[in-house]
Structure 1
Amino acid sequence: MAEQATTVPCSQPPEALVTRMFEAAAYPHPAADLQMIETHLSWVFLAGDFAYKVRKPIKLDFVDFSTLRARQIDCEEECRLNRRLAPSLYLGVVPISYDPVTGAICVNGQGTPCEYAVCMRRFAQQDVLAALAHDGRLCPAEIDALADLIADFHATAPVASPGSDAGTPSSILRTFEDCAAGVIALSTEPLSAAATVSLLRQHANRLEETFESRRRSRHIRECHGDLHLGNIVLIDGQPTPFDCLEFSPSLRWIDTMYDTAFLFMDLLAAGLHGMAYRMINRYLERCGDYGGLAVLPFYASMRALVRARVLLERAHQLDGTPDLAAKPSGEARRMLDLSRELLCRNDACILLMHGLSGSGKSTRAAQLAEAEGMIRVRSDVERQRGWHVRAADRYLPRAVERTYRRLAAICKLGAGTGFPMIADATFLSEHHRQRFFSLGRRLGVAVAIADCVADVDTLRMRIRNRMRGGLDASEADLHVLEAQIATQQPLNVEERAHVIPGETSPVVPYIRGEGGDDFARAGSDNQVP
């Protein structure tokens, strides 16, 4: 349903306030290049080096800014919450006073406040990630830094109390149904929209136990809530999320994967599939929340549905001007298509990287994950995660076995959700390779091997360089390499039938047997003695 807005009287008429905010004399600093950006809820006045965000005196079905005190409180809440991720951007809340005699207003001056504003450091619109993505200027290093930032933010965010409604299946369903009703009501293709909604509802019902498990495992936290490319800007070269959902606790206290799924979906919607998978792989590697793969498709699909809902509302508001309404209406259809695609993807398979330390496994695995939308799990990272094992003991048989069990558990979860998985480890033992082929048989998914080879001198040189750099997750030194060379069990004849040729592209269809060749038939059987 469409939003019903009520304008509420305030101490300074909104039209007059907007007019006066365009006067340079209203500001306590030079105010060149005065501009205004208007949203549903606010006016943002750009003045010199600063920006001032003023709430509109309106009352909607989801927010009430009908009193000056309510607007002040929301400004303070916005500053408090956004300073978690953007402390240099949010400078504070300032009063706006009004002189009834002269009609002048004064930002952050003396007198009785007629309004309040969030004062922010002004930034260039071309530095917003949405603009960078549109212009092809978004870099891998920025995606990596952003994924690390979000993972670290989620790790320290407050956890929802067990008695709260946040993250419960019922609350998730309410949010979904509210959005779904608006989509169906406003869509120009209601049957297609209803089919998407029905598919999402089926997934939500199947995931009820998983939602509860996510609550128990402390993944419902006070998140950003609106984490998309248009709400992230480069400040001093660092990606900086801003404009979180301060006015709605229920949309902010959510699953950390729901928060991350918005950015994942937005990168996909922008046509940056490689960047989307680079981001999600980096995020998962940083935080270790591979259990979130079970809900990622649903949450990303939900984000696409919400985006479609907003676009349909915009098209509805422009109904009297068909030429203007055509663009948001077309974008809404595209988002509904994406919502379905996210739920229907199922090209699950498992690719084992194989080779000695320094043979280039991780480099190739990273390239494949980004190019083909695969989820990679690295033994070099997982052996260090949370087990409090001394570095010198991480290559002992018991620790190695534990690492491979974790890789298998993650691949089982990811492949079971429909993702093609990469297990990035040496796989020098036939026992470890057999575990994954057995897993593939149980899951009914194809398993293949990427065999990475380099001569011993090259291996030693790469390991020395890696150790000097000190930036790689691998702890394998020359002693580990020598032990690997002495104890490795080469691929047998049957296993070699599952090795993908180095020039194969794309890899995932090849592994899954969609090419119809001999390898595909062998791979689909997963028969390894």
Structure 2
Amino acid sequence: MTRPGTSPARFVAPNSVGIAQSHCAVVVFIGDHAYKLKKPVDLGFLDFSTVAARERACRRELELNRRLAPDVYLDVAQVLDGHGKTCDWLVVMRRMPASRRLSTLVTQGVDVHADVEKLARMLASFHSTARRGPEIDAAGSSAALRKRWVDNFAGAEEFVGAVIDRTLFDEIVELTLQYLDGRAPLLEERVRRGCIVDGHADLLAEDIFCLPDGPRVLDCLEFDDALRYVDGLDDAAFLAMDLERLGAPGLAQDFLAWYREFSAARSTTSLAHHYVAYRAFVRAKVACLRHAQGVAEAASDAQRLTILTHRHLRAAQIRLVLVGGLPGTGKTTVAGALADRMGAVLLRTDQIRRELPGTAGLAAHAGYGRGLYDSGNVHNTYQEMLDRARTLLSHGESVVLDASWSSSEEREPARAVARETFAVLTELCCVTPTEIAEPRITARVGDASDATVEIAAQMNRHFASWPEATHIDTSGRPDTAIATAWEPIERSFR
């Protein structure tokens, strides 16, 4: 092996020598240097089967990793055979102190919040200047993300049944495609906002070192440029997934929160969950490949990662909740509490009807079916609310709709919006005896609702049967009603 000024053959202390390997590389540690060789393997998604391919990969690894760790990636060197001819290539690196490996620190319970915050800032800064362009933007589309998922499903299929549970795998596929089918506008918007970058794409805690002068991030994905073209949030989600895998879910959440703050990147919680799930499944597939190579613990790793994938895909599900009922039944209290618990957007007809064009001069207290509440204005209010809900749902936000939903003709369009956006629909109808509802109505102060006891009575006579809804008794304590309302939502989680 030749490299000016460096020779691993020099005398080193015995305890300074070591070796580590992954499914596609071997790293030899000698003194204060590390030497990384590519394995001569063809795994389908990467091909290092020839010397020329391994040379290209080594040079590419050096170039790409110097973006985040220029003082770690030193050079590319030849490996010579007994006749002095080049038989392989390797990457020469500055050796990092194993005791400062992020994965080690996390598993030891060391407080690394300050280091991880610096890492989030570093990653956001890296993304702000990362390469962008039409080719990279193309990787951010719904179709491109779908292809990445489907390719990984195909790569894992041979291990389903033997390593990965078939039922769990099938649910992962269903939940993934359901999310993607309804979120094209969200992904298109992120492309327009420049969120798709030439990133790292392999942010594992074992490849990050927390040094006094700042973190060092190693080993980006170099074998396929297209796989490195990712949403910046997707890049960050990889490390969040790994921190959770290591038993630090709170730290993972903090890291994503810091990344969002430093990158000023608006993003929905559902998309973050989806990206965490994707990264978990990629690692599950890699664990399956390691299992096939004879690594004993890899099968259990794959199983844990598929469970993690499933958990985040469930959390990413988009939901539309209709909360209806007569005035005084407490539907607004229930709707607000559910929205808070779900992290959802709350839309209320009582507020929206006043925002519609042409309603400023209409009487709010003209009586049932007149003024602001004539059939045309009521329909327009519901239509506007559903238009807003459709936009929110397609952009990855769950939505709670607070309205009377007294007409069956207004409910069906809401169901159509749920189908169109692949949202999980829950319908709730709040009910309470008249003798409880009426005092609530008369006691209202400063509420957006204009309903009176007389209007409530007339609405009751025209309230269409709602068999599809779960009826929520709101005559008791609010927390009891809210807990009851949460049950059908909780059951709808897969």
- Give the TM-score band, short-chain normalised: 0.5 to 0.7
Deviation, 1:125, is 2.4
Who is 2:196 aligned against?
A: 220
Who is 1:329 aligned against?
A: 299
Q: Distance in 1 between matches of 2:154 and 2:139?
A: 21
Alignment of 1:437-448 (within 5 A): none
Who is 2:119 aligned against?
A: 146
Q: Distance in 1 between matches of 2:95 and 2:131?
A: 29
Who is 1:128 aligned against?
A: 101
Q: Distance in 1 between matches of 2:43 and 2:170?
A: 26
Q: The residue matched to 2:267 in structure 1 has which SS?
A: helix
Who is 1:93 aligned against?
A: 76
Deviation, 1:294, is 4.9
Deviation, 1:171, is 2.3
Q: Distance in 1 between matches of 2:480 and 2:131?
A: 48
Contact map agreement 1:184 1:194 (CA 8 A) in 2: no
Aligned residues: 344
AA in 1 matched with 2:201: G
Who is 2:254 aligned against?
A: 278
Who is 1:417 aligned against?
A: 397
Alignment of 1:13-32 (within 5 A): 26-27=8-9, 30=12, 32=14
TM-score, structure 2 as length reference: 0.61
Percentage identity across paired residues of the two chains? 30
Who is 1:382 aligned against?
A: none
Q: Deviations over 1:441-481 (max 9, x none)?
A: xx99xxxxxxxxxxxxxxxxxxxxxxxxxxxxxxxxxxxxx
Deviation, 1:129, is 1.1
Deviation, 1:185, is 2.9
Alignment of 1:328-407 (within 5 A): 328-345=298-315
Contact map agreement 2:60 2:222 (CA 8 A) in 1: yes
Who is 1:467 aligned against?
A: none
TM-score, structure 1 as length reference: 0.57
Q: The residue matched to 1:46 in structure 2 has which SS?
A: strand
Provide structure 1 residue ranges, at least 5 long, that are not aligned to the other structure.
1-16, 18-23, 101-110, 319-323, 350-371, 376-408, 421-442, 445-491, 496-515
Who is 2:145 aligned against?
A: 172
Q: Distance in 1 between matches of 2:278 and 2:289?
A: 17
Who is 1:229 aligned against?
A: 205
Who is 1:48 aligned against?
A: 31
Q: Distance in 1 between matches of 2:86 and 2:250?
A: 50
Q: The residue matched to 2:140 in structure 1 has which SS?
A: coil
Who is 2:59 aligned against?
A: 76
Contact map agreement 1:293 1:414 (CA 8 A) in 2: no
Contact map agreement 2:19 2:26 (CA 8 A) in 1: yes
Q: Deviations over 1:281-338 (max 9, x none)?
A: 11111111123545212111111111222223333444xxxxx74x433332222222
AA in 2 matched with 1:308: A
Deviation, 1:49, is 0.5
Q: Distance in 2 between matches of 1:295 and 1:315?
A: 30
Who is 2:404 aligned against?
A: none
Q: The residue matched to 2:134 in structure 1 has which SS?
A: coil
AA in 2 matched with 1:170: A
Q: Distance in 1 between matches of 2:314 and 2:41?
A: 40
Who is 1:464 aligned against?
A: none
Q: The residue matched to 2:250 in structure 1 has which SS?
A: helix
Q: The residue matched to 2:67 in structure 1 has which SS?
A: coil
Deviation, 1:81, is 0.8
The structure having more radius of gyration, on CA atoms, is: 2
CA RMSD in angstroms, aligned pairs only: 3.9
Contact map agreement 1:294 1:413 (CA 8 A) in 2: no
Q: Distance in 2 between matches of 1:168 and 1:27?
A: 50
Q: Distance in 1 between matches of 2:136 and 2:114?
A: 40
Q: Distance in 2 between matches of 1:347 and 1:279?
A: 22
Deviation, 1:122, is 0.8
Contact map agreement 2:273 2:316 (CA 8 A) in 1: no
Q: The residue matched to 1:117 in structure 2 has which SS?
A: strand
1:246 equivalent to 2:216? Answer no
Who is 2:432 aligned against?
A: none
Q: Deviations over 1:472-519 (max 9, x none)?
A: xxxxxxxxxxxxxxxxxxxx9989xxxxxxxxxxxxxxxxxxxx9546
Q: Distance in 1 between matches of 2:342 and 2:76?
A: 43
Contact map agreement 2:137 2:196 (CA 8 A) in 1: no
Who is 2:430 aligned against?
A: none
1:157 equivalent to 2:139? Answer no
1:113 equivalent to 2:86? Answer yes
Seen in structure 2, the aligned counterparts of structure 1 residues 220 and 94 have a Cα distance that, compared at 3 Å, is same
Q: Distance in 2 between matches of 1:373 and 1:279?
A: 21
Seen in structure 2, the aligned counterparts of structure 1 residues 493 and 235 have a Cα distance that, compared at 3 Å, is farther
Provide structure 2 residue ranges, at least 5 long, that are not aligned to the other structure.
320-340, 345-388, 401-424, 427-443, 448-475, 486-494
Alignment of 1:302-313 (within 5 A): 302-313=278-289
Q: The residue matched to 1:166 in structure 2 has which SS?
A: helix
Contact map agreement 2:343 2:398 (CA 8 A) in 1: no
Q: Distance in 2 between matches of 1:87 and 1:58?
A: 28
Q: Distance in 2 between matches of 1:206 and 1:415?
A: 8
AA in 2 matched with 1:227: L
